[in-house]
Amino acid sequence: MEQYKSTYGLVGYPVQHSLSPLMHNAAFQELGVDAVYKLFPLQEGELEPFFSDLKKDGSPIFGLNVTVPYKEKVLVYMDSLSPFAEKVGAVNTVVVSAKRQLTGHNTDGPGFLTHLTELGFNTAGKRVSILGAGGAARAIVTVLCLVPERPEAVLIYDIDHHKAEALVQDLGQRFDTRLIKVVHSLDDLNLEISDLLINATPIGMKISDPCLLEGFQVSRDMLVYDLIYNPAETRLLKWAKEQGAKTSNGLGMLFYQGVLAFQHWADVQLDKAVKDKMWASLKTGLKS
Ligand code: NAP
């Protein structure tokens, strides 16, 4: 029989820029596990045969991450979903059992919340404003609606407000979304009374990208969280910092969604030494 390493990996397109291999291979190395995390850049037509092979005995793959643009498209290949992934309607982590059954999880929302908690932000009674209504916003909005520390309000602005309305309507079929309001202009986000502003758009990734909120004011007590982590300080974060607001980029979210995914695959809690190696690998990866 052909010898192989237990394999994990990231399915998406494109995936070449991903830091996930660094983070997960660092964890395997620290744990002394003979496994490897690879990139699987797949075109849409390759998804079906890939997942069909995954279910066959003899496949070396025991766990996956899923990224843009397939987080919703892979739902049909799952044999079961975690309650949270079912609510979000998207999967970013797949666990493959010994019997080749696939369970879909979503660690984006919990990863974001874990980082928010680490930053000392408690969502109870808070007013949250979100820019963007795509895949990442979907996971974040879901976690904000389900968390026991319920925010007072969640306002969403997307350049395409129909998209934001469709998102809320879709989520509303699975849980109570009454605290969410779609706004049609940046003015209506009422930033001066907001406690948390989240950028869930890709605007800021390119050096030439504008600050979406130039000319607006934020309060000094506000936390401005940009999901983007490369560059480490987007124009939005610079703008917020200049006004005295607290800021964070999305590296912590990336880290915690990865830690939670690994814990699903291994079915163990990772200790501090392993997590430290994962975090250090992300920092190194961003520098190079
Ligand atoms: P996405 O599905 O493409 O969603 C982005 C949304 O923002 C789209 O609905 C887009 O509308 C909207 N948008 C674009 N420009 C806008 C503007 N000027 N004002 C308001 N809305 C605008 O992307 P995603 O997967 O949610 O990811 C969003 C960002 O989060 C990316 O930068 C991604 O790298 C980052 N992210 C980070 C993490 C992490 O772990 N830190 C995890 C996931 C995602 P159109 O479709 O009409 O352009």
Q: What is the DSSP string of 114-167?
A: HHHHHTT---TT-EEEEE--SHHHHHHHHHHHHSSS--SEEEEE-SSHHHHHHH
SS3 226: strand
pLDDT at 85: 98
- The pTM for the full model equals 0.96
pLDDT at 213: 96
Nearest CA to ligand 1 atom 27: 136
Structural domains in the chain, CATH included, are: 6-106+252-287 (3.40.50.10860), 109-249 (3.40.50.720)
Nearest atom in ligand 1 to 164's CA: 9
Q: Which helix (H) or strand (E) holds 256?
A: helix 251-266
Question: Which of 18, 19, 21 lies closest to 8, judged by CA?
Answer: 21
- Mean pLDDT for 199-211 is 96
- CB within 6 Å of ligand 1 — which residues? 68, 108, 131-137, 157-160, 163, 200-203, 205, 212, 227-229, 250, 253-254, 257
Nearest CA to ligand 1 atom 39: 254
Q: Alpha-carbon Rg of the chain, whole angstroms? A: 19
SS3 32: coil
What secondary structure letter does DSSP report for 210?
P
Confidence bin at 3 (pLDDT 50/70/90): low
b/e code 80-94 from CB counts within 10 Å (16+ = b): ebbebbbbbbbbbbb
What secondary structure letter does DSSP report for 64?
E
The type of residue at 24 is H
What secondary structure letter does DSSP report for 110?
H
Task: Work out the mean pLDDT of the chain and round it to a whole number.
Answer: 96
Nearest CA to ligand 1 atom 8: 134
CB-CB contact of 123 with 171 (8 Å): no
pLDDT digits (tens, 9 = 90+) for 87-120: 999 999 999 999 999 999 999 999 999 999 999 9
